[in-house]
A and B are shown apart, each in its own frame.
Chain A
């Protein structure tokens, strides 16, 4: 997993609430057995017409946002299906950070497994960043994970909370499985105990 420490990039505004993972990556693209290559189909049904032509109005098709690395989104981003193809598609497009007032739990978790930083902020901070993101090519935002701080195009700063363990893993690009396997002795001890207590499992 790629590390996440500090990111400076264009922020794209997507104020719609309840953007679900079916919107982020429609099911026709789930038939892959790889993690890569989904970026071209990110937001496919919002981004292209039936003939595959770009829909001009869609934010990521606008010249200023084609290289966006951050999305500022409406409430409850990533709800619905557990498909990790959603963060894979975001990452493959180049999105490394999503900011919203809330995220669905499974999507939120999936982001951290892929080096994407989801940031939860109060409504007023998201509103401010949404305004910043509306500025097209000037919507340059810096996200500093170490300092837990977002700097807007005017130099205004917003701080954010994050779980210390998740922060540590993102900053260092750590592989969860490797970390857990270091605790194999605890897992085996648990299994022995559970086999006594609940032998039918």
Chain B
């Protein structure tokens, strides 16, 4: 038998049908659903008189629209259209009998944080959601990717997806990370190197010592942004760190089933000699704490650098860089560490887990945020929030002047009231610095939680290593 990649193995184990022309039906083990990309899909089922094929494998949670302020159970906190969308999910979850975590449930949170936390996401699974950051679940060695609403309807109706196999890409991070360098810096550095289309048509497997040394939280951060590198899915082979995280979660297998699962999970790695269509290698020691300067996640530089000159690029990127720098209100040659910040956002499916909050709190502890700064921490789930409160992190943030919010997507995409105003500049632990992403004409610099915390204290983009 020819050697296989991890992606090949998961693909083969889920192939429900292959047509003569190579078009495949891939079986889906877990379908995660949120309120923004699902209403039209459920409506489609109703109109065709179809049921949800596997409600037991379907998990719904509202996250994109929900307010993150206290008293949000009061529907008057939401705009009419948001309220309708959340109410539609309430009704669809009930009518179609899928698992549901409503806003009032302490387990509610960002769908990509809730899935792993509850043990829905397991190694070797196929996981989809109408959200591009589904790539997050690849941290478990699960094949996980975002889909459109038509595909959401297709999975609801058939529990399969029509697919052509992607190519294999390996991203190896060798060696060890320097102090102050995190999973967020790894994933941004990779995108900085490969570009936002570097992974198009591929599934990325992240490997190497620096990846293996990451916690599950860090691995989720890395895989989360595979999509920003153009790859629909990122994968990390499961190991003891993975099994340790999964064991005992509410929906993880128990007893004899756990043993059986472990037997299979331990076979989920890329065989020696398996073929990759593309390989990228970065030395862990060469990665610095990074920030984005532009309006594409590929616009990444170490914090010690300066805003680039657009003429240093080639092709269409010259115009794009000019446009970005103008939009961001920056000047070529300006030191990145001189850029003053108005707002700090710590949260999102990229960096809203407990380890992220611990990293930020370690920088903030005993300090105050810069006068006039707006700073908020939005935990990724109600359970992350509860744990952070128990560990005393919430008090550290509140004492420093941060707002301590309820769980949701919040200012990562600003569909709820948490938004930037025109020209407002934000150091954000989220995943996209696109024009208008965090609010109309808002300006986003993507950073790690520690870097965001440092910016909140100093009032400008800051090298976190100076504060450690």
List A residues at the B interface (Cβ < 8 Å): 15-18, 20, 22-23, 26-28, 30-35, 45, 50, 74-76, 79-84, 87, 102-106, 109-110, 113-114, 163-165, 176-177, 179-181, 183-184, 186-187, 190-191, 194, 197-201
Within 8 A of A (CB), among B283-320: 296, 298, 315-317, 319-320
Interchain nearest-CB distance for A38 vs B (Å):
11
Is B159 positioned at the interface, with any CB of A under 8 Å from its CB? yes
Indicate whether A45 sits within 8 Å of B159 (C-beta atoms), given known contacts A79-B196, A105-B232.
no
Indicate whether A200 sits within 8 Å of B197 (C-beta atoms), given known contacts A106-B232, A176-B150.
no
Interchain nearest-CB distance for A49 vs B (Å):
11
Is B81 positioned at the interface, with any CB of A under 8 Å from its CB? yes
Contact A177 B432 (CB under 8 A): no
Chain B residues near A184 (CB, 8 Å)?
158
- B5-21 CB mask vs A (1 if < 8 Å, else 0) is 00000000101110101
Contacts A82-B148, A114-B150, A187-B25 aside, 13 further interface pairs with beta carbons under 8 A come to A15-B319, A26-B436, A31-B36, A45-B441, A50-B440, A76-B230, A80-B228, A84-B150, A104-B200, A105-B166, A105-B200, A165-B23, A200-B253
Contact A187 B316 (CB under 8 A): no
Complex CA distance for A27 and B50, rounded to whole angstroms: 29
Contact A31 B82 (CB under 8 A): yes
Chain A residues near B463 (CB, 8 Å)?
none
Q: In the complex, what residue of chain B is closest to A180 when comparing beta carbons? A: B158
Contact A200 B132 (CB under 8 A): no
Interchain nearest-CB distance for A70 vs B (Å):
19
Complex CA distance for A183 and B153, rounded to whole angstroms: 16
Interface-side segment among B37-45, B329-337, B387-395: B37-45
Q: Which of A74, A80, A183 contacts B132 (CB 8 A)?
A: A80
Complex CA distance for A166 and B117, rounded to whole angstroms: 37
Is B76 positioned at the interface, with any CB of A under 8 Å from its CB? no
Within 8 A of A (CB), among B18-73: 19, 21, 23, 25, 27, 29, 36-37, 39-40, 43, 48, 50, 57, 64-65
Indicate whether A84 sits within 8 Å of B148 (C-beta atoms), given known contacts A45-B440, A164-B21, A200-B253.
yes
Contact A113 B150 (CB under 8 A): yes
Is B178 positioned at the interface, with any CB of A under 8 Å from its CB? no
Q: Which of A30, A113, A201 contacts B29 (CB 8 A)?
A: A201
Complex CA distance for A177 and B422, rounded to whole angstroms: 43
Chain A residues near B253 (CB, 8 Å)?
200
Interface-side segment among B256-264, B270-278, B452-460: B256-264
Contact B132 A81 (CB under 8 A): yes
Chain B residues near A84 (CB, 8 Å)?
37, 40, 130, 148-150
List B residues at the A interface (Cβ < 8 Å): 13, 15-17, 19, 21, 23, 25, 27, 29, 36-37, 39-40, 43, 48, 50, 57, 64-65, 79, 81-82, 84-85, 88, 122, 124-125, 130-132, 145-151, 153-154, 157-160, 162, 164, 166, 196-197, 200-201, 227-228, 230, 232, 253, 257-258, 260-261, 264, 296, 298, 315-317, 319-320, 323, 413-415, 422, 432, 434-437, 440-441
Contact A20 B434 (CB under 8 A): yes
Indicate whether A23 sits within 8 Å of B232 (C-beta atoms), given known contacts A84-B37, A110-B148.
no
Chain B residues near A20 (CB, 8 Å)?
296, 432, 434
Chain B residues near A114 (CB, 8 Å)?
150
Complex CA distance for A197 and B83, rounded to whole angstroms: 42
Chain B residues near A191 (CB, 8 Å)?
27, 159
Chain A residues near B148 (CB, 8 Å)?
82-84, 87, 106, 109-110, 113
Q: In the complex, what residue of chain B is closest to A175 when comparing beta carbons? A: B48
Complex CA distance for A199 and B263, rounded to whole angstroms: 13
Contact B65 A31 (CB under 8 A): yes
Chain A residues near B149 (CB, 8 Å)?
35, 84
Q: In the complex, what residue of chain A is closest to B45 when comparing beta carbons? A: A177
Chain A residues near B85 (CB, 8 Å)?
31, 33
Contact B158 A187 (CB under 8 A): yes
Interchain nearest-CB distance for B408 vs A (Å):
14
Complex CA distance for A80 and B261, rounded to whole angstroms: 34
**Top 10 A-B residue pairs of the complex, sorted by shortest distance between their CB atoms:** A200-B253, A113-B150, A17-B316, A31-B81, A84-B148, A110-B148, A33-B39, A82-B146, A190-B16, A76-B197
Q: In the complex, what residue of chain B is closest to A35 when comparing beta carbons? A: B40
Contact B323 A16 (CB under 8 A): yes
Complex CA distance for A165 and B23, rounded to whole angstroms: 7
Contact B257 A27 (CB under 8 A): no
| A and B contact pairs by CB, cutoff 8 A, 30 listed | A22-B437, A31-B65, A31-B82, A33-B43, A33-B85, A34-B40, A45-B435, A50-B440, A79-B230, A80-B132, A81-B432, A82-B147, A84-B40, A105-B166, A105-B200, A110-B150, A114-B150, A165-B23, A176-B150, A177-B158, A179-B162, A180-B25, A181-B158, A184-B158, A187-B159, A191-B27, A199-B260, A200-B122, A200-B260, A201-B29
